[in-house]
Every structure is written in C-alpha cells, then in structure tokens.
Amino acid sequence: MAGFREARGDLQLESVTKSFGDFVAVDGIDLVVPRGSFFALLGPSGCGKTTTLRMVAGLEQPSAGRVKIGDTDLTGSRPYERPVNTVFQSYALFPHLTIRDNVAFGPKRRKDADAAQRASEALELVQMTQFAGRKPAQLSGGQQQRVALARALVNHPEVLLLDEPLGALDLKLRREMQVELKRIQTEVGLTFIHVTHDQEEAMTMADTVAVMNRGRIEQLGPPAELYDLPRTRFVANFLGQANTGVGTIEGIDGDHLVADVLGTKVRILQDRSQVHEGQVLFGVRPEKVTVSRKQPDGVGNDVKGVVRDVSFLGVATSYLVDMPSGTTWSCYEQNLDVEPLDLRPGDEVWLTWNPGHAFGVPADPA
C-alpha cells in the first residue's frame, strides 16, 4: 500500500459513492476526465462536489467504487502516494514557512535535489518571485492564492485539484485570476479539476462542465452545450437564467412537438426535448426572447404579457414580464435602436422567440 504511485492518463471515477452515516454525499458517480483538460465540477453547496474532489485527492476514501488515473487504481491509497495536488479553498499555506519554503515543500518531500530551483520557477510562473522571503500572513488573499497555486503546480501533478480557489477573492481579482488560471493551465498542460458554485466561472474557464446536484451528476458537457440544451430542470435553472413553464404535450407538427403551457401553444424541436409525451417543462433563455409592442407577423410563436419591471443595464435593458400563465419571464432588449421601445411597467407587450431555441425537460422537480 505504501509508496508513491506514478500514474499517467485520464482520471476515471467508477461508481464512486461516499456516505457519512445515513447521508449520501456522493451517489454512484461515473466520470472520465481526459488528460490535459480543464474540467469544472459545478453545483450548489452540499451537492457533493468538494467530497468528490477530496476522494480524488485521497483526503476521503470512497464508501464504494474506484478512483483511477490511467491504468493505476488509486483507491485506498493515501494522499501523499498520489500524483495529485490540491489548491485548498482557504489556501492552507504553512504559516510557519516562508513563501519559498511553502512552494519547495512538495519537491523536498520527494527528495528532489533541485527543490529550490523548481520552487523559484513555480513562483516565477505565478509572478510571486519578489515575495519569496515573506511569510503567508504578510500577503494579501490574492497573493496567497497564487502561492497556493504555485505550491501545487511545482510538483507537476498528473491532476491538479482546485477547491473553490477564487471563492475568497473580490470580483475584479476573481476575473483576473480566472484568466490567469486558464493561461497557466494552457501553459503547463495538466488536468485541472475546478470545483465551484459559480456558474459563470465554470462556463468561462472549463472545457467541460459537470453539473452536480444531490450527489449525482445531472449533466456533463461543454459549457455552450449545457447552456443551450439543458437536460434537466435543475441544470436549466442553475446554469444561467431560464424562462420556463410547465405544459402538456399535445401532438407533433413535423419536426416539432406542440405543447400547451397554460393556454399558450408552444413548439419545441423534437430532438431538443427530453420528453415526448405527458408533462414537459418548456424553457427558453431570456436573451433569445424578443420584445415588441405589436404582435409580430409570422409563425405565431408568441405570447402577450404585461411589463412588471424595467432595468436599464447599459448595453441592454432588462424586462420582467408577467405571463398569462402566472409566471414571470425575463428578457432583454439590446440597446441598438435610435428609438428604443421605452416600455413602462403596466405596458402590454408581445414576446416571441425562434422555436429552435426552445427546450423541453422533464417537469418533475428532480
């Protein structure tokens, strides 16, 4: 059982389950993360994403299932035996060591004769060279974050785990670090697994996003795909905003399903709906919806509503519109026109969208 394990290849989780007493934190996850990709585990707090990460790190052992890198089974091995390093949420820098010694810690443990050299290269990579002699307490949060990253990267792990690494930074710094992290990942070419509850962060940084909820992966794919075509109600609502309504499928019209959402007939492309009969949750993203004062000519894919709230955002104006079905939809007007619509709360408006943008997911809340 003892000894460091070299391993190369994709990270694989096979039916990994973790329970704490009666509580199942992670419920039979199957996952393959291709080598060298930037992978995000996205979900609300308590969804099991951090527990999943800790099982990859070896800080928790799965109750069932296997954790592998390439052909090497890492299940049951200790954290220090794995070619995996973690950037902790609170950075977890060693308070009694200088920045240089913090970064050199890993290489020294592995008896690397060039530990000091490797450490200064890593500090160079995160642009922290001038702080090498300081103690962690003398650095700001953003600087500590960079050191934590260098301390993990210096070991050239096969998989780098990032546990909400930007969570404690302010918005501006977070944006900067997002770009920085992406740059570093491209530069070093390691597998990054980034745990976050920030959907924007996951979408901007990752090649592949896995949305987790209640210990399971709801959907996995490239960010654009997840956003464009969510497959569950949870993903539709968690990833960006969605205008939704529960309806009943009434029939088929060519490529489209026709559903009745509380009196309004809507159309969904057959291959963009996860259900083809019975109850369906119809949805369309706010930016795909067009607002106008008059009923537009065309296919009749439109609904009349009443403006409830108007917010001017600069590049766009955002409207909240009360729908006849009783729900409230959100939509935008790009501020392109010389004469804007100039809608006021209480005005009647028509909302239309291209049926190709609509999606259908199971209506049950699971």
Partner 1 sequence: MSSLAPVSQVAGDPAVHPTPPAPETQKRSWTAYLLLLPGVLWLGVFFILPLVQLASVSLQSRYPGFPGYYYRDLNFENYVAALTDYAPHFARSFLYAGMATLLAFVIAYPLAYAMAFKAGRWRNLMMICVIAPFFTSFILRTFAWSQILADEGWVVGVLSFFNLLPGGSIINTPIAVVAGLTYNFLPFMVLPIYASLERADPRVIEAGGDLYANGFTTFRTVTLPMSMPGVLAGTLLTFIPAAGDFVNMELLGPQRGKMVGNVINDQFLAIPGGYPVAAALSFTLMAAILAMVFLYVRRFGTEELV
**Using CB under 8 A as the criterion, which residues of the chain lie in contact with partner 1 when the complex forms?**
4, 57-59, 78-80, 84-86, 88-90, 92-97, 105-106, 109-110, 135, 137, 151-152, 155
Coil, strand, or helix at residue 37? coil
**Residue 95: CB minimum distance to partner 1, A:** 6
Cα–Cα separations (whole angstroms), residue 94 to 90, 151, 267? 11, 10, 58
Residue by residue, DSSP assigns 41-65 as EE--TTSSHHHHHHHHHTSS--SEE
**Residue 210: CB minimum distance to partner 1, A:** 22
Sheet holding 279-284, edge to edge: 264-269, 256-261, 243-253, 279-284, 359-361
155/301 with CB nearer partner 1: 155
**Residue 113: CB minimum distance to partner 1, A:** 15
Distance linking the first and last C-alpha atoms of the chain: 40
92/246 with CB nearer partner 1: 92
Q: Give just the sign of the alpha carbon dihedral 217, 205, 164, 102.
A: positive
**Residue 146: CB minimum distance to partner 1, A:** 16
HEC profile of 236-298: HHHCCCCEEEEEEEEEEECCEEEEEECCEEEEEEHHHECCCCCEEEEEECHHHEEEECCCCCC
59/206 with CB nearer partner 1: 59
Give phi and psi for 99, each to the nearest 5: -60, -45
**Residue 240: CB minimum distance to partner 1, A:** 32
Whole-number Å distance between alpha carbons of 366 and 360: 14
85/301 with CB nearer partner 1: 85
Give phi and psi for 337, each to the nearest 5: -80, 150
**Residue 96: CB minimum distance to partner 1, A:** 4
**Residue 88: CB minimum distance to partner 1, A:** 5
42/57 with CB nearer partner 1: 57
Q: What is the DSSP-derived secondary structure letter of residue 325?
A: T
37/89 with CB nearer partner 1: 89
**Residue 87: CB minimum distance to partner 1, A:** 10
Whole-number Å distance between alpha carbons of 31 and 97: 37
137/338 with CB nearer partner 1: 137
Whole-number Å distance between alpha carbons of 217 and 208: 13
93/289 with CB nearer partner 1: 93
**Residue 271: CB minimum distance to partner 1, A:** 44
Cα–Cα separations (whole angstroms), residue 277 to 230, 250, 274, 281, 358? 18, 8, 10, 11, 16
CB 291 within 8 A of CB 282: no
4/312 with CB nearer partner 1: 4
